């Protein structure tokens, strides 16, 4: 049996410090209508099954977003989909963070010798790095999050999670804590290896602000983005928002938005994943108050007959799915806009920061790659 047709289309990026074209590469599966052709004629579970085979990293987020998009496009209650339990999303996003921290971080250190992942710190962790199927039951999800919180408090932090968060949300305080504890915890050794370079690198901050706590403004902005998705088949490979490049990630969540939000550097970007893992473990089943965004937002918007846009804040940032169904309810066209394409845009903040480096500064380039966290192969 041959390899799936998308294996050769998954793509990769090469980062080249000190030159104008500092990011080379793309994901061919996303361009030229290839994904739409792959899914054309498929319906319901077949669509989600194919998407999770194509996008194996964060497959749960693609499954959730596809289900929301298909339900809205079929005129099912988009509101019901948008209110789907947050617990399973939180559990699987925490798992994604744990997997990246354990397996990816040691491969992205500033020197050119990747470290062998040390998984001893994960002993007795209630969330294994991989699961045969994602958690979908709300009751089970909140129980797992409670177990994760207890494990973090007892095995990793040595104190109550709420107290730790209060003391270490400040970037400098987090850096001090990492250096103090690094000898006993391998993820902190990665953070300590990045910090001396990361806190000096300050790429331009322009967060993707498509979601909004004002429902009317959010709807208008999502309609605008959906128009670009449907009009331009290759928009998903080089997306822009309001005519400019934008970035997405845990530091750019809707819940972090405020009028005078500070600019980010590479340290706040890369450490945001560790902080978000803690915030997810500390989450409560209680819904947010009126006007307050959730920890991780997801939902869907019906755009017209058989057409919808769905979104999900997942581990690497904001994921969007656009679908157009035919008269039989089968896929006519499908587009996926993932975080990596925003963050690795050849004219984006990362590209500009790479171009500004001396050509020989591959260590800083590797730190920047870790900060923006691609979901495909990336070399310097």
Phi and psi for 379 in degrees, rounded to 5? -125, 160
With a cut of 60, say whether residue 78 has pLDDT above it. no
| Model confidence band, residue 80 (pLDDT cutoffs 50, 70, 90) | very low
Per-chain mean pLDDT for the chain: 92
Question: Which pLDDT band, with edges at 50, 70 and 90, does 57 fall under?
Answer: confident
pLDDT digits (tens, 9 = 90+) for 272-326: 999 999 999 999 998 888 878 999 999 999 999 999 999 999 999 999 999 999 9
Residue 83's CB: how many other CB atoms inside 10 A? 12
Tell me what pLDDT residue 6 has.
40
Write down the pLDDT at residue 81.
Answer: 47
Evaluate if residue 10 carries a pLDDT over 80: no
Q: Model confidence over 191-237: pLDDT tens digits?
A: 999 999 999 999 999 999 999 999 999 999 999 999 999 998 889 99
pLDDT tens sequence across 323-372: 999 999 999 999 999 999 999 999 999 999 999 999 999 999 999 999 99
Is residue 85 exposed (0-12), middle (13-18) or buried (19+ Cβ within 10 Å)?
middle
pLDDT of residue 282: 97
Which residues does 292 contact at the CB level (< 8 Å), separation at least 6?
213, 255
pLDDT at 289: 82
Q: Please give the structure tokens belonging to residue 353.
A: 């920061």
Domains of the chain, first to last? 7-379 (1.10.645)
pLDDT of residue 9: 59
Instruction: Please give the Cα distance from 113 to 107 (Å, whole number).
Output: 8
Residue 139 has pLDDT above 70, yes or no: yes
State percent of the chain over pLDDT 70. Answer: 94
Whether residue 112 is predicted with pLDDT greater than 80 in this model: the reply is: no
Pairing of strands 298-304, 317-325: unpaired
- Distance CA(201)–CA(368), nearest Å, equals 8
């Amino acid at each position: 049996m041959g390899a799936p047709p998308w294996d050769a289309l998954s793509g990769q990026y090469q980062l080249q410090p000190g030159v104008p074209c500092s990011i080379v590469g793309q994901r061919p599966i996303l361009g030229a209508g290839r994904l739409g052709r792959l899914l054309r004629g498929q319906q319901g579970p077949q669509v989600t099954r194919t998407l999770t085979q194509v996008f194996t990293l964060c497959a749960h987020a693609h499954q959730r977003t596809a289900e929301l998009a298909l339900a809205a496009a079929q005129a099912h209650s988009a509101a019901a989909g948008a209110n789907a339990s947050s617990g399973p999303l939180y559990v699987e996003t925490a798992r994604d963070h744990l997997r990246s921290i354990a397996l990816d971080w040691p491969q992205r250190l500033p020197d050119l010798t990747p470290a062998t992942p040390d998984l001893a710190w994960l002993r007795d962790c209630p969330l294994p790095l991989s699961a045969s199927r994602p958690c979908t039951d709300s009751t089970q999800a909140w129980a797992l999050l409670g177990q994760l919180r207890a494990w973090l408090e007892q095995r990793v932090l040595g104190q109550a999670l709420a107290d730790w968060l209060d003391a270490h949300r400040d970037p400098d305080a987090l850096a001090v804590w990492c250096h103090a504890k690094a000898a006993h915890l391998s993820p902190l050794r990665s953070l300590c290896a990045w910090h001396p370079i990361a806190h000096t690198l300050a790429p331009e901050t322009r967060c993707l602000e498509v979601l909004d706590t004002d429902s009317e403004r959010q709807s208008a902005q999502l309609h605008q983005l959906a128009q670009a998705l449907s009009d331009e088949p290759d928009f998903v490979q080089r997306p822009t928002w309001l005519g400019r490049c934008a970035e997405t990630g845990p530091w750019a969540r809707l819940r972090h938005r405020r009028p005078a939000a500070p600019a980010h550097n590479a340290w706040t970007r890369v450490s945001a994943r560790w902080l978000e893992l803690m915030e997810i473990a500390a989450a409560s089943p209680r819904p947010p108050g009126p006007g307050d965004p959730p920890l991780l937002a997801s939902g869907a918007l019906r755009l017209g007959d058989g057409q919808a846009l769905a979104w999900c804040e997942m581990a690497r940032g904001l994921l969007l799915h656009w679908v157009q169904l035919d008269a039989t309810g089968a896929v006519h066209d499908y587009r996926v806009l993932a975080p990596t394409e925003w963050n690795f845009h050849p004219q984006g903040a990362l590209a500009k920061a790479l171009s500004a480096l001396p050509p020989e500064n591959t260590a800083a380039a590797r730190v920047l790659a870790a900060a923006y966290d691609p979901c495909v192969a990336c070399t310097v």
